[in-house]
Amino acid sequence: LAARTKGHQCASAGVGLPCGSERNGIRERSSGMEQFGQTSGHGGRPQTDYQTPPESQAELPVALRPSSSCWTKREHDGGAEAPCKAQRTSCSAIEPTVVLDDTQRKVLEELVTCVDGNASIVITNPRAKDNPIVYVTEPWQTMCGFTYEEASGQNPRIVQGEKTDQKVVRAISGALANQSACKVQFVNYRRGSMDQPFWNMLSISPVLYQGNVMFYMANLQDYSYHISQMISLTPSQFCRAATHHQRGRRLQMLDPSVRSKPAIYEIDLDFPVPCSQGKTNVVAATPQPIKRLGWNNLVLEPEHLSERLKDALQTMGASYELHICGDQEGEIFVLHAKIDAVACRLTVSEDPDDFTQRISVTRLAGDTFEYHTIFRRLRAQLGEACTLTRPLDATGAPLAPLPMVPSDSAEI
C-alpha cells in the first residue's frame, strides 16, 4: 500500500527540561511495570507529561558529567564490539524466528515497507510476553551492536546498563502502559558493554491497527557528540509523553522529516487516525521587539537546543529562567535571560511547514551594540548546534534531512 520511504535520519521535536524550582517529579502510573517495554491492559492515553527531572550536579556521577574531551570516536574492528557489515542481518525480510499471529504479521509486513532503512529503528511486540524485538534496521544493528538475529525475541533493555537512569526506565513503562508516545534521552550501551556508552535520543510511537496497539516503533539517535559539546550544564536523562506527542498520524504518510517524532500511528487506511486533546498554554504576548536575530532550518532536537542555550548562557555568566509552553500542536521553549546590561528572550520553536527548528534571540532592553556582541558570543558557544541545518533546494525549500551519523563509540 505504500512504497518504502527514502531519506536520511534527522533530529526532531521533543521536550526540554526546566531547571531549578521548575523541575517536576515523575508522575508514575500504578502499573507496576519496572522495565522498558512491559505493558499491561489498554489504559487510556494521558494528556499530561511523564517527566523525570535532570539530576543535580551532586546526584549525577562524575563520570557522566561532560567535558570537551570526554567523548571520543572509536572505529569498530568488526569484533565483538559491533557486527561488521558482513555480519549484519538483511532487513529486507522479517526474521523467520519471529512469532506473530496472522493479523500482526500482516501489519508488520506493511510497517516494514513504511520505515526508512537509513534510520535506526526497532519494532517490538507488546502483545507477547516481555515486549520482544521483532524487527530492526541495519543502522540499529550498527548503533546498538547486535545483529537482527541476535536481537530478535529479546527486550530492548539489552542496551541498558549501569548508568541508565531507572527512573527514566519506569517512566517509559508508565507511558507504554497507557499506550502513549514518548520522547526519551538516556544513557545506553553498545552491545550492552559498559565500556561503550552512548547518549540515546529515543522516540517511541505506538502502531495501531483498527484502533488497537499492535507494535511499538522506536527511533534511536546517537547524541553523544552533541552532548559532549556542553561545557557548564550537566546533561539530563528524561522521559516525557507530552500532549503534542499523542498526535494521530497515518503511517503510510510517514515522511523523512517527521519519522523520528513521537506520534500515534494508525496503519489501517480505512480506520480514522486517533485524535489528541489538550489544553492550550499560549505564550504570553510581549511588546514589539526592538531587534531580533536567530537561526532557522535547524535539525537538532528542540529539547537539546534548549539545553545548549542554557549551557551557553551559564558559560557566559548570564542569569535565566526557562518556561515550556505547549498544546496538542507543539511546544515552545522560552528562556528569559539577562547578560550584563542586556535583557533578551530566547525561544526554540518548530516550523510547522518543514518540521525544522528555529532559535530566536530578541532584545528586550539594553544597548544594541552590546546585544550584537552578545549574539556573536552566543553563536560561538552554540557551535554546531546553530550550524547543523537542512540544505535548501533551488527554490529555497529544505531538502531531505541530513543523516545523523552516530559516533562509533563514546567514553563517559
Residues 138, 192, single domain; the answer is yes
Residues of the domain holding 187:
20-71+80-266
Do residues 52 and 115 both lie within one domain?
yes
Contact 356, 390 (CB under 8 A): yes
Q: Does a structural domain hold residue 283?
A: no
Q: Which three cell numbers stand for residue 408?
A: 562509533
- Which residues, listed in sequence order, are joined to residue 342 by a DSSP beta bridge? 339
The alpha helices in 178-288, defined as continuous H runs, are: 224-228
110 and 192: one domain?
yes
Check pLDDT > 50 for residue 94.
yes
My answer on whether 55 and 150 are in the same domain is yes
Phi, psi at 106, each rounded to 5°: -60, -45
* Rounded Cα–Cα distance for residues 172 and 187 (Å): 14
pTM (global) more than 0.75: no
404 domain-assigned: no
**What total of structural domains would you count in the chain?**
2
- CA-based Rg of the chain, rounded to a whole angstrom? 21
| 86 plus 181 within the same structural domain | yes
Amino acid letter for position 257: S
CA–CA distance, 367 with 85 (Å, rounded to integer): 57
Unique residue bearing C-alpha cell 510476553 = 129
| CATH code at position 371 | 3.30.310.10
The pairing of strands 330-339 and 197-209 is unpaired
Domain check: are 136 and 223 in the same one? yes
Q: Give the least confident one: 120-124, 178-182, 260-264, 392-396.
A: 392-396
Average pLDDT of every residue of the chain: 76
Residue that is last in its domain, among 222, 249, 266: 266
Residue 67 has pLDDT above 50, yes or no: no
Please state whether beta strands 291-298 and 319-327 pair in parallel, antiparallel, or not at all (unpaired). Answer: unpaired
Q: Is the pLDDT of residue 43 over 60?
A: no
Give pLDDT tens digits for 343-386. 999 999 988 877 889 999 999 999 999 999 999 999 999 999 99
pLDDT in the model for residue 342: 95
123-132 residue pLDDT tens = 999 999 999 9
Q: Is residue 397 assigned to a domain?
A: no
pLDDT tens profile 142-171: 999 999 999 999 999 999 999 999 999 999
3 state DSSP class of 106: helix
Residue 234's pLDDT band (cuts 50, 70, 90): very high
Determine what percent of the chain is predicted with pLDDT higher than 70: 67
Is 388:301 a contact under the CB 8 Å cutoff?
no
Q: Report pLDDT for 276.
A: 58
Q: Is residue 352 part of a domain?
A: yes
